[in-house]
Amino acid sequence: MDIATAAGVVIAIALILVSIVLGGGSFGAFIDPASIMVVIGGAIAATLISYPLKNFLSVFGVTSKVLLYKLHSTPEVISQLVSLAETARRDGLLALEGRVEEIDHPFIILGIQMAVDGARPEVMEDIMRTEIDAVATRHRDGKGLLDCMGRFAPAFGMIGTLMGLIIMLGDMSDPSKIGAGMAVALLTTLYGAIASNVVFLPFAEKLGFTNKQELLTMEIILRGIMAIQSGENPRIIEQKLNTFVPPKLRVADDEAA
């Protein structure tokens, strides 16, 4: 589990609850099922209008990737590519087939298998870049889905507030109930703001961050596999791939060896 995401959500909710207590409010005054239905149901309905059903149903998988995901360490990937380059230079490309089982990144496996099978460099690069583009498209669609819900939640919160005001102003027979009615009407705006700024939009931003990291790792792998296939010196490959990461995280010669 991504500790930062879970901690951020918990802290945000805790701050809201503590603020209610310190302000002298009661939790019961902040609970209104009708307001929740308008905000969450409205955001879901608007997103269904914006996206096909198949894409919308993927929101559960997208959300799980925000909370539970595994990013491969860039220095470890570089170290592994350098090690594979040393094997290929010492024993030939066919020797890499025996090391496939120890590789846990599917994109490295894809490149190694094509190199062992003798695929032409231009074919290898085309296939691997197509895979990178496909991953980027899937992630962009997932982020767009969460961004969409983040935009619609506050809008339906405002719609719910306007509905509440209309209902309240339609019956002014008892002035003592105006304050309570106004409070209930404003709850939908509060729910919309919380749903948007605590869940939907932050999750979309986290998905965008992980997308950038994964695409960077895939680009490093592509460069490394192409260099291995062309028979470049492992030290040159290491120096070339290290340019993608900050100096403090770069793989040292003794670590790669």
User: Helix 3-22 crosses helix 59-67 at what angle (to 10 degrees)?
Assistant: 90
Residue 30: pLDDT band (50, 70, 90) is confident
What's the pLDDT tens digit per position in 87-106?
999 998 899 988 888 898 99
Residue 247: pLDDT band (50, 70, 90) is confident
Residue type, 181: G
Residue type, 219: E
What's the pLDDT tens digit per position in 226-243?
999 998 999 999 999 998
Distance CA 46, CA 50 (A): 6
Residue 255: pLDDT band (50, 70, 90) is very low
Distance CA 35, CA 41 (A): 10
What's the pLDDT tens digit per position in 182-223?
877 889 999 999 999 999 999 999 999 989 999 999 999 999
Residue 55: pLDDT band (50, 70, 90) is confident
Closest CA relative to residue 127, chosen from 7, 257, 225, 61: 225
What's the pLDDT tens digit per position in 119-171?
899 999 999 999 999 999 888 888 999 999 999 999 999 999 998 888 887 77
Does 37 have pLDDT greater than 70? yes
* Total-model pTM: 0.82
Contacts of 5 (CB under 8 A, 6+ apart): 66, 67, 202, 203, 206
Contacts of 132 (CB under 8 A, 6+ apart): 215, 218, 219, 222
Contacts of 238 (CB under 8 A, 6+ apart): 78, 82, 85, 251, 253, 256
Does 253 have pLDDT greater than 70? no
Does 256 have pLDDT greater than 70? no
Does 257 have pLDDT greater than 60? no
Q: Where are the domains of the chain?
A: 29-244
Question: What tokens were used for 6?
Answer: 């879970």
